[in-house]
Amino acid sequence: MKIKILTLFPEMFAIFNHSIIGKAKEKGIVDIKAINIRDFTLNKHKKVDDYPYGGGAGMVMTPQPLVDAIRHCKKDDHSKVIFLGPKGKKFNQKLAQNLSKEKELIFICGHYEGIDERVYKYIDMEVSLGDFILTGGEMAAIPVIDSVLRLLPGVLGKEESYMDESFSDGLLEYPQYTRPEVFEGDKVPEVLLSGHHENIRKWRRLQSLLITKERRNDLYKKVKLTKEDMKILNKNIER
């Protein structure tokens, strides 16, 4: 997959040279380029913002450098242009899975009070992390890109690494334990030490169901419980 990031601060994306994504780049699984929007402005002072028509606080990113940058990056219809903004579709794991199937993603990182409305005709999708304000689109682009790339084949060691994670099946992840077996008097649950894979699977499923119901009831209400889920839950109640 190819990732192109249109930004005023390309250096912020050096984070993708490290850890799991950095290794994926070395393997050639993903190609990430951070492109400076200022390189496309026709303004001799490299200015990319101006005062809003009609008045108001703050500055607005001008259309010319953004549109020229998009045209430079988007070579064909296989590229999807995504703007990180507060009016967009709320980002979640399902959207990450859909985006991971694309060949090329172009992310636009806004700043100031936003972008000129006329740029939107060149944008395929606007994505929001949630109902809060960030200082720039870069802060939103990093988790979105990371969430998408880790779903690509070969990025993580095993497919199970992300299949068992929170949100992959609509539930929060079950509790995880590692050595030592006892820490400050707190012991690892016996079932995880039993070596009985089926009992471990059922325990983990139960924990995911209980944790999701307690902490994210909005997600729990959307889960289609299987007959096995009902049996596991009823057995837990009987205890």
User: Same domain for 34 and 106?
Assistant: yes
CA dihedral 39, 42, 48, 54 (to 10 degrees): -160
Looking at the 3D structure of the chain, how many domains does it have? 2
Give me the domain span that covers residue 203: 165-238
Q: How many CA atoms lie within 13 A of 77 on its CB side?
A: 0
Q: Is 195 annotated as a binding residue?
A: no
* pLDDT for the residue 176: 94
User: Same domain for 118 and 188?
Assistant: no
Beta strand 125-128 pairing with 182-183:
unpaired
* pLDDT for the residue 163: 60
Q: 159 lies in a domain?
A: no
* pLDDT for the residue 239: 73
Q: Is 170 annotated as a binding residue?
A: no
Q: 155 lies in a domain?
A: no
User: Same domain for 58 and 93?
Assistant: yes
Contacts of 152-161 with C-beta under 8 Å, sequence gap 24+, read: 152/1, 152/24, 152/29, 152/30, 152/100, 153/29, 154/24, 154/27, 154/29, 155/20, 155/21, 155/24, 155/29, 155/30, 156/20
Q: Is 146 annotated as a binding residue?
A: no
SS3 (DSSP) at 145: helix
The H or E element containing residue 203 is helix 197-215
Q: Is 95 annotated as a binding residue?
A: no
Q: What is the pLDDT along the chain (239 residues), one digit of tens a residue?
A: 999 999 999 999 999 999 999 999 999 999 999 999 999 999 999 999 999 999 988 999 999 999 999 999 998 888 999 999 999 999 999 999 999 999 999 999 999 999 999 999 999 999 999 999 999 999 999 999 999 999 999 999 766 556 656 666 789 999 999 999 999 999 999 999 999 999 999 999 999 999 999 999 999 999 999 999 999 999 998 87
User: Same domain for 169 and 146?
Assistant: no
Q: Is 54 annotated as a binding residue?
A: no
* pLDDT for the residue 237: 87
* pLDDT for the residue 170: 86
Q: Is 151 annotated as a binding residue?
A: no
* pLDDT for the residue 187: 96
User: Same domain for 16 and 90?
Assistant: yes
Reported pTM = 0.87
Q: Is 219 annotated as a binding residue?
A: no
Beta strand 2-7 pairing with 31-36:
parallel
Q: 76 lies in a domain?
A: yes
